[in-house]
Amino acid sequence: MKCPYCGREMEQGVIQSTYELNWQKKRRLMNRSDMYEDAICLSPMSFWKGSAVTAWLCRDCNKIVIDYSPKADEPQG
């Protein structure tokens, strides 16, 4: 994948956690997407698998791109 910021090639990897991965407008005490209407769940928590999203890293401009669409919910590797 080409970086949308600098155009260089990006590295595929994962961002993972033992907890649910969310995007929120601001930092909050509770990290649960179902508690806040503006939150987006990037990957639900799974007791057996944890949570993870496929992410693309650009080392040149220090950016990470995450695809949180349903087709991208199973990281490779």
Among residues 45, 46, 43, 47, which one has the least CA distance to residue 75?
43
CA angle 42, 68, 25 (to 5 degrees): 55
pLDDT of amino acid 31: 65
> CB count, 10 Å around CB of 68?
16
pLDDT of amino acid 13: 94
Residues linked to residue 64 through DSSP beta bridges, in sequence order: 57
Per-residue confidence in pLDDT tens, the chain, 77 aa? 999 999 999 999 999 888 888 888 777 666 665 566 778 888 888 777 788 899 999 999 999 999 887 665 554 54
Residues linked to residue 13 through DSSP beta bridges, in sequence order: 55
pLDDT of amino acid 48: 79
What SS3 class is residue 18? Answer: coil
